[in-house]
């Protein structure tokens, strides 16, 4: 099945791109510029597309992102340190982000006669991000079935929705994903900070997966205290 992958350039979505190329017909990578703090992830997504030999398209949603104010990912709000499972991490929620991106992805897939759109939502996101949960995935599919009825049939493929980030790391290691060429950090410095929620989750995932983490962190040991303090 020809599948478009929503690819931010992070560890999860890049691994999903490799998984799609291995198991399906990868139809290309789709990224979004919604005015996030930095574009390092987009550079990683572009590198992934080159590596896999497919097109990479970036959709400009900056005007939409500007209207979704209040998130540390889009506004001049400090990104908190700590684990995702802390209440302070709610400041990293961009309201309805996945629904908006997926709706665009489904429209493009329908126009291009692709059979599926893939998204790398996973179980570790369920606590903090409502648009990464199984209920959202099922509801979005039902909505799109109605929206495209009689025109196209497009499936939402989320192979990691019931798994963990450690499962993604194990899958990526099996597929030979160059993890060092992915970008997760919300702060967008020269190196991964090692302290924000996504850095902590990334570092913990490699540990739980039993896979060497090639990521260069400013603070490579902070994750241990953050995990213990949950």
Give the model confidence (pLDDT) of 115-163 as tens digits.
999 999 998 765 677 888 999 999 999 999 999 999 999 999 999 999 9
Q: Average pLDDT, stretch 110-117?
A: 97
Strands 155-157 and 116-118: parallel
Q: Is the pLDDT of residue 38 over 90?
A: no
Residue 97's closest CA among 76, 123, 69?
69
The answer to whether 29 touches 5, Cβ cutoff 8 Å, is yes
pTM of the model: 0.91
DSSP 25: E
pLDDT-derived band at 186 (thresholds 50, 70, 90) equals confident
Q: Is the pLDDT of residue 82 over 90?
A: no
Terminal Cα-to-Cα distance of the chain (whole angstroms): 41
Q: Average pLDDT, stretch 82-91?
A: 58
Tokens of 8: 């931010």
Q: Average pLDDT, stretch 166-182?
A: 97
Q: What's the burial of 214, exposed, middle or buried (CB within 10 Å: 0-12/13-18/19+)? A: exposed
Q: Average pLDDT, stretch 60-74?
A: 67
What's the full length of the chain, in residues? 230
* Predicted pLDDT of residue 72: 42
Q: Average pLDDT, stretch 10-26?
A: 97
pLDDT-derived band at 66 (thresholds 50, 70, 90) equals confident
């Amino acid at each position: 099945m020809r599948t478009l992958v929503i690819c931010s350039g992070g560890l999860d979505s890049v691994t999903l791109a490799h998984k799609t190329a291995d198991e399906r017909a990868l139809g290309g990578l789709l990224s979004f510029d919604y005015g996030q703090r930095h574009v390092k992830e987009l550079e990683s997504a572009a590198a992934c597309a080159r590596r896999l030999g497919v097109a990479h398209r970036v959709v400009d949603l900056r005007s939409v992102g500007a209207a979704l104010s209040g998130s540390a990912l889009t506004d001049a709000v400090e990104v908190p340190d700590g684990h995702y499972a802390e209440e302070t991490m709610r400041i990293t929620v961009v309201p309805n982000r996945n629904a908006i991106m997926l709706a665009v992805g489904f429209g493009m897939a329908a126009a291009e006669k692709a059979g599926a759109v893939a998204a790398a939502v996973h179980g570790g996101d369920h606590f903090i991000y409502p648009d990464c949960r199984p209920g959202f995935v099922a509801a979005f599919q039902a909505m799109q079935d109605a929206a495209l009825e009689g025109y196209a049939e497009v499936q939402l493929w989320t192979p990691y929705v019931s798994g963990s980030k450690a499962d993604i790391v194990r899958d990526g290691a099996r597929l030979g994903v160059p993890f060092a060429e992915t970008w997760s950090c919300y702060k967008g410095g020269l190196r991964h900070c090692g302290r924000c929620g996504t850095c902590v989750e990334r570092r913990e995932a490699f540990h739980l997966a039993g896979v060497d983490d090639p990521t260069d962190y400013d603070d490579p040991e902070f994750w241990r205290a953050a995990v213990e303090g949950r």
